[in-house]
Amino acid sequence: MKTLEVRDLSSRIGNFDLGPIDLSVEKGEIVGLIGPSGCGKTLLLRTIAGLQEPLSGSVTINEDDVTFLEPHLRGLAFVFQDNALFPHMDTHDNIAFPLSVMKDREADAKVSKRAGELDGLSDYLDRWPKELPAGMKKLTAFARETVKKFNLIMLDEPFERLDKKIRIEMRSIIKRMLMALGESVLIVLNDPEDAMAIADRVFIMDSGVVLRQGSPTEIYDEPNSLFVMELFSAMGINRVGGRAFRPQDVELDDQGEEFNPEHCGPYDSKRIICNGKLGGEDVTLMLPIECRDMDSIFIRITRFFDL
């Protein structure tokens, strides 16, 4: 059963046109939207949520057409990028807010339960938003939206503006929480590493349209364009002799091309990152750790696009 189904959805903000977009989220599925800044990911979320009026198309949630339904009637848990916490409420009251509006008599118990499920949040229930670390602000916003009943969780770039260590910790915490909830999720991401760690399926967007969809592993292994290959390469793209390839898209081959490393550093326990020359041009390659003391290495490019 599809929790969310979007058909031929289009919208506009200023002179930017979104769509038409077709998208779906199955029950219990985590779907990511990924693409460069300004490609329309957040506008798509806002249009689905009813915060932006569509020009055409439809939005269906649990088989009910909600295209023109008020946002608060759609049963969405929407975690905004800036968290949108109430500065005059402590963490407990921020989380409890939607329950208080509904006059839920079990609000305190539900807040305590949700905070206890999010690593360390229980220790911050009496703190004001300005006193919270960045990670705890994000968890507070997540707890507030998921403490109530909902049909779909929507998260807008939840890992932005976090340093790498906190980002990885937050990714792990939210992934565990989403899996425990077992609910349908639509999440906006900018980093392919986040997509690989979080999403069951991703929709790649650019200039207001979807270019491709599939599992993160499938898209990483079989990029259908240079744009997709570059998007899913945290270390950038090499361009040599009319070919474009990722640093990791090489393997050792005694009959291959000669690479002359100029500087190598560790990547993990089995691989190194090397800068050097290939065909007289500067490249960055990811190689097995046994190559670290070699002056000359012969490699074969396993996956590339012609420029």
Which own/partner contact pairs does 169-173 have at CB distance under 8 Å and 24+ positions apart?
Answer: 169/119, 169/135, 170/135, 170/138, 170/139, 171/197, 171/198, 172/197, 173/118, 173/119, 173/139
C-alpha separations of 259 from 240, 262, 307 in Å: 12, 10, 21
Residue 160 has pLDDT above 80, yes or no: no
pLDDT of residue 306: 84
Q: Is the dihedral of CA 215, 221, 226, 229 positive or negative?
A: positive
* Cis amide leading into 87 (omega within 30): no
C-alpha separations of 78 from 106, 178, 266, 272, 301 in Å: 22, 14, 40, 40, 43
Burial class of residue 242 (count of CB atoms within 10 Å of its CB; 0-12, 13-18, 19+): exposed
Least confident of 29-33, 163-167, 252-256, 261-265: 163-167
Residue 304 has pLDDT above 80, yes or no: yes
pLDDT of residue 79: 86
Residue 295 has pLDDT above 90, yes or no: no
Mean pLDDT in residue range 235-252:
91
Residue 100 has pLDDT above 90, yes or no: no
* Chain segment 128-145, per-residue pLDDT in tens: 999 988 888 888 988 898
Q: Considering the chain, tell me which residue range(s) the CATH 2.40.50.140 domain(s) occupy.
A: 236-306
State which of 85-94, 114-123, 130-139, 233-242 shows the largest mean pLDDT.
85-94
Q: Considering the chain, tell me which residue range(s) the CATH 3.40.50.300 domain(s) occupy.
A: 2-227
pLDDT of residue 235: 83
* Chain segment 207-231, per-residue pLDDT in tens: 999 999 999 989 988 888 889 888 8
Q: For residues 58-85, b (16+ Cβ closer than 10 Å) or e, as one string?
A: ebbbbeeebbeeeeeebbbbbbbbebeb
Measure the CA–CA gap between 133 and 120, rounded to whole angstroms.
11
Q: What is the pTM of this model?
A: 0.83
Burial class of residue 209 (count of CB atoms within 10 Å of its CB; 0-12, 13-18, 19+): middle
CATH topology of domain 2-227: Rossmann fold (3.40.50)
- CATH class of the structural domain 236-306: mainly beta
* Chain segment 2-34, per-residue pLDDT in tens: 999 999 999 999 899 998 999 999 999 999 999
